[in-house]
Structure formats: C-alpha cells, structure tokens
Amino acid sequence: MRIIAITGASGGLAQEIVKQLPAEDFVIALGRSAEKLKKCYASRPNTACYELDMTSDLAIFEMVEKLYAEHGHIDVFINNAGYGDFSEFDAYTTAQIRDMFDINTFATMTFSRLVGHKMKEAGHGHIVNIASIAGLIASAKSSVYSATKFAVIGFSNALRLELAGSKVYVTTINPGPIATTFFDKADPSGEYLKSVGRFVLQPEEVARRTVAILGKNKREVNMPLSMAAAHKFYTLFPKITDFLARRVFNYK
C-alpha cells in the first residue's frame, strides 16, 4: 500500500487525482479546512484529512513531523496547493505578491525540503510539484503568477539533481489552463478562460497523466501538446516567441 500526501486537497484537480488513485492507496489530504476535506472524501476508504495553514513554516514543519509519526513514511508527496491572479504588473500590492509566493512557492519548497530529507534517509520516494506551463512561458498579466511557478520549476530542477543518487524522484507537472475553480479568482470575468477555450484542459486528463507517473523517474510533464511544443519553440527562438506572446497569443 502506497502512502500518498497531497496539498490543496479540496481543489478540483486534487480531488480528481485522488479519485483516480487505486482504492488501496492511503491518501493524506491536506487543506485549509478539515471539515471541507472530510466532505470531499467521506466515501473514500484509506484517507486521512488534516487542516493546515500553508503560510506558516512552523505549521508545515509540525505537520511533516506529525505525518511521519502517525504513518511512518510517505511514498509520494504532491505539492498541489496554489492560486493565481491575472492583473497588470503595477496593480499588485506587496502583500498580494508575498501571499501568492507563500502558497505557490514557499510552501512547496518547505514541504519538498522537509519531506525530501526524510525520503532521502529512507532511500526512496517521489515528490511531485504541480507547477504550470506559465512557469515555462510567461505572458502578460501573469507576472507574479509566472514568477511563482518559474521559481517552483527552478527549485525542483535543482532538487532533482541533489536527490538523484538517493532513489528519490522529483517531477514537475506543467499544465496549461485547467477547467477548475482556479479561474474564479484568477479570471473573475471569465473572458480569459473563454478566449483560450481550445487550450483548456479538463482536470480528468491532468489527473490521469499525473497518476500515471507516480513512482516513476519522470523529469516533467508538459501539457497540452500545443503548449509543450510552444515551450520548445520558445527555448530556440525566444525573441520571436516574445513577439507572438505579446501581439498574437495574449488573451488576458
């Protein structure tokens, strides 16, 4: 039986990931509200729900210690918690920027460091960080969100190298826009999601590809195919891609 922990567990993508896991997998669901988590997973066996303040380093440290004390080990840790806000670069306050980094970046880094250390000691494990294609290709009105995800990908790439000899894998999942409640905050008007309709992924597909690589030494998963190809083009022709992103593909 694998023990799989996931943050942001009340979100749509997380629920779909858990839904696609084998019933015998033991799931540790982490989120802001224990009550909401229990409602989400009331019918699933082998599931434990924990309330957590993701903005507190101390709370994260204490949670990691608690999970290992109660469950002994963690085979897969999925850093899924995160949110976006697509605003003009000069519309953010410093507090708003710090808040997004706290959840999207610093919590992921803290969990990865603490859990990665224990996995290294155990000689096995898999850290899966849900980042974004926005962390590979930036676009207008996503300056802060893209920065949080660029940081996650950079951290993950370095962590992967440091853990390479320990049989601990590190994978980044980099999806394009997903049809979840993420856009309730990121795009309240709904105009962006509507304009990029042909690129929008369903949570079932992202979950399927995520579940498929658990326990495997996979570097990254970029989707959809069109955006994965755009990233390769970007690395070869960055100036052209900047022009296209600014004039042709800027839907925000």
Give the whole-angstrom CA distance, residue 174 versus residue 209. Answer: 11
Task: Give the number of C-alpha atoms closer than 13 A to the C-alpha of residue 181, restricted to the C-beta side.
Answer: 8
Dmax over CA atoms of the chain, in Å, equals 53
Annotated catalytic, 41?
A: no
By residue count, the chain amounts to: 252
Give the whole-angstrom CA distance, residue 252 versus residue 217. Answer: 35
Nearest Cα neighbor of 131 from 151, 115, 114, 117 is: 151
Distances (CA, A) of 23 to 4, 18, 191, 235: 12, 9, 38, 41
Which residue out of 145, 169, 234, 251 is catalytically annotated? Answer: 145
* Cβ proximity of 245 and 139 under 8 Å: yes
**Residues forming the active site:** 145
